[in-house]
Amino acid sequence: MNGESLVRVACPYCGERISIAIDGGADAQRYIEDCEVCCRPIVFEVWRDAAGDWGVAASREDDA
């Protein structure tokens, strides 16, 4: 399953729900992206479970 999927997550700083694009070509990803609302750096860990569904964990950069 290639392409991009959009997933909504809550920013760990401001709590706003934002959409992130997930690269469907990789089963596990870890990257940092700034919140589009408060501009603080969020660490995203993305994985695909056995059923093929995406899981996303968002944490503060200073917690990583």
Can you give the pTM of this predicted structure?
0.80
Mean pLDDT by 10 residues, the chain (64 residues): 79 96 84 95 92 91 76
Q: What is the pLDDT of residue 44?
A: 95
> How many angstroms from the chain centroid is the CA of residue 1?
18
What are the domain boundaries of the chain?
Answer: 4-63
Task: State how far the Cα of 2 lies from the Cα of 32, in Å rounded to an integer.
Answer: 21
